[in-house]
Amino acid sequence: MKELIEIARGFQTSVNIAYDLNDDNKVRGFIPTMSSIDVIEDVLLSTASTSTQRARILIGAYGRGKSHIVLVLMSLLLKKDRALFGALLDRMKFHDPDLYAFAIEYLESANKLLPIVVRGSSTSLTQSFLSALQQTLSEEGFSDLMPETHFRAAVKQIENWRENYPSTYQKMARALSMSSGNFVLALNEFDVNAYEEFIRLYPTLTSGSAFNPFLGFDIVELYENIAVKLERVDAILAHRR
């Protein structure tokens, strides 16, 4: 039997959505089942312009292949490389010709979604969403679209003190719970604790004034603004083509 059957190397390893997003072998090695096709169909059809229900929660026991399904979906919606989905498309064509036709139409269209993988390792949900957005935009060459946030505003203020008000900068450095370099690094990584420390210290460094440059900051609004900017960039690129 060993001479006739060979287990795909990727089939034996678990899937990590964040680390395996660019692993084409993981995508090619996906074995489509009817239940997985149902999930893929539900998400794929939700990309239609007429769809109004696009939020999904995927629940299942450990080891059922949830991460692999999501990985394939993300690759399908972003990369759109038809060669990666041979087994999946064949299964669709056999069991649901209409779904197969829709999938082919999507792959051949100019439509594309940008997956943002939010990791749960940060100290707050807001930090996780900000870090994930920044990393994704950077990886896809859109880092210039990342708007100024209160974290970056704090970093700019610190840089201003270092360059123009060295006595204030030194006073801040002595009061910090870590080195000034590590503190700036933490702010650049959207560390909420570091930002809260900066907020506490700011009045003592500026004769009692409060640091609050972004009243009404909303992570949902930030994502919406990025989506609008990406749409504009896509329209410009499409016009140039």
Helix ranges (DSSP H) in the chain = 17-20, 24-28, 34-45, 66-78, 86-95, 97-108, 125-139, 150-164, 166-175, 180-188, 192-205, 219-240
Confirm whether 58 is domain-assigned: yes
In a shared domain, residues 168 and 71: no
- Report pLDDT digits (tens) over 122-164: 556 777 888 888 888 888 888 778 776 778 889 989 999 999 9
- Report pLDDT digits (tens) over 55-91: 888 888 887 888 899 899 988 888 778 888 988 999 9
- Using a cut of 0.85, tell me whether the model's pTM lies above it: no
- Final residue in a domain of this structure, among 108, 133, 166: 108
R_g over Cα of the chain: 23
DSSP letter at 146 equals: P
The parent domain of residue 40 ranges over 9-108
Confirm whether 94 is domain-assigned: yes
